[in-house]
Amino acid sequence: MNYRNRQKITYPSRISSDLNTLGFSLIKKSELSIKLNSEDALADFQEQFHKAPPDGPHRKRFYSSYIMVPNGNTGRRPQYLGSHFQQSAAVNPEQKGTERRFHPIPKEIERNKLFQELIKADIAAVCLSDSNGHLLPVHVEVHLISLTATSELAGIATPNCPHKDLDFAFFLHLIDKKHVDGGESVLYANDHDERGPKPGQEIFRTTLEEGDTLAVNDSRVWHHVTPVTVTDGHTSGYRNVLIVGITPMLQGKMGLNGAIEIDNPEIVMAA
């Protein structure tokens, strides 16, 4: 997919400066510009979350990663890379660095217009270019996660603590939510001690509603989502999110010593 072509969803222009200065940007549903008949696409997309396979007792998940290219490659489809997912123990202490294999995102979701346009909007919002101003291909990690809660069991994210995902930036889209409390998105400043980097002071807390997006500059802040519990008077509920992690693919070449040297390490956010 030419990720700069015929964009149908756009965010307010402040998103880039928010990501650069604050480290995050909250975009409410009412601030989106959508040139898409999205109601049918939204209903279809919401339905797909219920088909996701279990990822632990409180979660369901689809996951795929892709390479996407900027202008000049019109017609290229996203290249599917795989559905294995690994985080270092330092990033996610609960999973201890193990490789997790998830069910890949099904074709019927990949064909969904709202799914496609949200990903295009996310990549366009960070507009990653090298030091010559050329847009870079990007590695995109896409999670559909459903946190489910019953009267006996809360829905809990992993890791259930402040952490980073080591993406350049990621976008959290609240796609659907029914009969749950909690699920607050919390951000913390960077800090460190003698053992290394750690989360510092809490700087932002919000509860996303359907259609809202939280964009995060992963290098600037740590993040966490609190567990979801069932609202009084109900027996079950869920919180379904689309997470799009974006990392630029820098150009590199083999140096004389055999190590890969990166040609253009400078990343510039869109002005």
Distance CA 61, CA 51 (A): 9
Shortest Å, Cβ 223 to Fe ion: 6
Of the pair 32, 186, the CB lying nearest Fe ion is at 186
Shortest Å, Cβ 164 to Fe ion: 7
Shortest Å, Cβ 158 to Fe ion: 9
Shortest Å, Cβ 117 to Fe ion: 23
Of the pair 68, 145, the CB lying nearest Fe ion is at 145
Of the pair 59, 76, the CB lying nearest Fe ion is at 59
What stretches of the chain show up as alpha helix (H) in DSSP? 14-21, 38-49, 107-110, 113-126
Distance CA 97, CA 90 (A): 8
CB 237 within 8 A of CB 179: yes
Distance CA 243, CA 218 (A): 13
Of the pair 42, 85, the CB lying nearest Fe ion is at 85
Burial category of 11 from C-beta neighbours within 10 Å (exposed 0-12, middle 13-18, buried 19 and up): buried
Shortest Å, Cβ 41 to Fe ion: 26
Distance CA 205, CA 112 (A): 31
- Half-sphere exposure of 80 toward its Cβ, with a 13 Å CA cutoff? 10
Contacts (CB under 5 A) with Fe ion, residues 9-28: none
CB pairs under 8 A, 24+ apart, for 7-11? 7/117, 7/120, 7/121, 7/124, 8/34, 8/35, 8/36, 8/113, 8/117, 8/120, 9/33, 9/34, 9/35, 9/36, 9/117, 9/118, 9/120, 9/121, 10/121, 10/124, 11/121, 11/125, 11/213, 11/215
Regarding 210 and contact with Fe ion (CB under 5 A), the answer is no
Q: Which residue is nearest to Fe ion (CB)?
A: 165
Shortest Å, Cβ 159 to Fe ion: 8
Of the pair 110, 165, the CB lying nearest Fe ion is at 165
Site map for Fe ion, 155-194, x if CB under 5 A?
A: ----------x-----------------------------
Of the pair 34, 186, the CB lying nearest Fe ion is at 186
Distance CA 143, CA 139 (A): 13
Shortest Å, Cβ 236 to Fe ion: 24
Of the pair 136, 221, the CB lying nearest Fe ion is at 221
* Residue numbers at the binding site for Fe ion (CB under 5 A): 165
